[in-house]
Amino acid sequence: MAAVALKNQLNAHIASMFAAGFLDKQFQELQMLQDDGSSPGFVSEVVGLFIDDAEKITGLIAGLLDQPVVDFDKVDALVHQLKGSSASVGAQRVKLSCEQFHSYYEAKNRDGCVMALALLRNEFYDSRSKFQTMFQLEQQIEACS
Amino acid sequence: MGAAAGGEGEAVRVLVVDDSPVDRRVVELLLRNHAAAFHVTTVDSGKKAMELLGLNNAGKQRSIDMVLTDYCMPEMTGYDLLQAIKALGSANPIPVVVMSSENEPQRISRCLTAGAEDYIVKPLRKKDVQRLRNCSAARSATKDAVAADDRRWSSVKKNDAPAPPPRPDTAAKKATSEQRPRRLAGAGLAMASTVDLSHYLQFLFKFILLAYAVLCLTELLHRWSSGCFLSQLP
């Protein structure tokens, strides 16, 4: 009974993430791969990798923007990598933030990049919080069954 | 390098090259979960891919049937890796499929012109995995056609036979999987017919010479028997 209630809560949570634009179709693809049965825990593993990767990349970008002379090519490469990994897990808001970042480093605008990084980090932290709630619910469901 | 595999029911050995740990894991699981068997090896750089393929003479090489590489990587891009593999000039090169998050026509054209079998826009999905399987199957069909042509050549080759023509460059160029084996089979049959014709002509020439010699001898015998030859003696 508790497991059913938790499952309903989890489904509602995921549905709200889709509705708010945190997730896109790619996340559904990952869920389907997991539901096929051959890779349990696949989604949490991949999302966990994404969270670690995104934290590392945003830290590196912040470090580059703190330099007296900003290497915008490196910033470009890092943002491109984060955009790719967010697209691969279906983290739509993070992906869109990376796309918005593009115009600022193309223009070699340091202040614009700093602002874009702040927005990107906000989106990433929000997404991370939502994912963590999702995993907590999954763990509770597993504990109940 | 690139031992035969990829036929129906055989696992395709794929080398996945991507600097993103997230993308490597997603692609790896996508391939492993597909109905068609894939044996997946992952590396995080073009340099490590070259080592594994034995392209930089560093250590022993592993057999790989296909390379699936990200385009944008630091130091050595997927395009650089593609060029390095194609530069080997093998008659049966390893198929390379490029993947990228950018859907740029110029980039796609550049990769296909350089010899990439396909270009897939990230993120990879289930439907993209079948395209990889098709690329691998096309290579397997080409290998079988080349092997059949070699066997046919070894059966008709003789000491006085003319040297076989060089294998057409079109066999190594990009072509559909159906056209390649047909072209090779047609070339083999044509050359077999040319060899037979030259043998026939040689035989015909020898026969004509022999017939002429017999006629001359007959004429000489006729004249001798009729006494013309003796009456002309002093």
Q: Do B26 and A87 touch (CB under 8 A)?
A: no
Percentage above 90 pLDDT, chain B = 35
The CA distances from residue B105 to A88, A106, B18, B21, B99, in Å, are 21, 20, 21, 26, 13
List CB contacts (< 8 A) between B74 and chain A.
77
- CA B171/CA B92 separation, integer angstroms: 9
Q: What is the DSSP letter of B6?
A: -
CA–chain centroid gap for A65, Å, is 22
Q: State the average pLDDT over residues B150-177.
A: 54
Position A39 scores a pLDDT of: 76
Q: Do B123 and A26 touch (CB under 8 A)?
A: yes
Mutate to test the interface with B, among A88, A96, A102, A124 (most CBs of B within 10 A): A88
Position B180 scores a pLDDT of: 52
CA–chain centroid gap for A115, Å, is 19
Q: Do A50 and B22 touch (CB under 8 A)?
A: yes
Q: State the average pLDDT over residues B124-132.
A: 85
Query: Strand ranges (DSSP E) for B18-121?
Result: 38-43, 66-70, 96-100, 118-121
Q: Do A80 and B72 touch (CB under 8 A)?
A: yes
Instruction: Supply the mean pLDDT for chain A.
Output: 92
Q: Do B72 and A77 touch (CB under 8 A)?
A: yes
Query: What ipTM was estimated for this complex?
Result: 0.87
Better pLDDT: B201 or B18: B18
The pLDDT of residue B225 is above 50: yes
Task: Give residue-wise pLDDT tens across range B78-105.
Answer: 999 999 999 887 777 889 999 998 899 9
The order of strands in the sheet holding B12-17 is B38-43, B12-17, B66-70, B96-100, B118-121
Position B203 scores a pLDDT of: 80
- CA B117/CA B128 separation, integer angstroms: 13
Peptide bond into B181 cis (omega under 30): no
The pLDDT of residue B176 is above 50: no
The pLDDT of residue B148 is above 90: no
3-class SS of residue B126: helix
Confidence band for B206, pLDDT divided at 50, 70 and 90:
confident
Task: Give residue-wise pLDDT tens across range A69-123.
Answer: 999 999 999 999 999 999 999 999 999 999 988 888 888 899 999 999 999 999 9
In this complex, how many residue pairs, one in chain A and one in chain B, have their CB atoms less than 8 Å apart? 63
Task: Give residue-wise pLDDT tens across range B213-224.
Answer: 999 999 999 888
Distance from CA of B98 to the nearest CA of A (A): 14
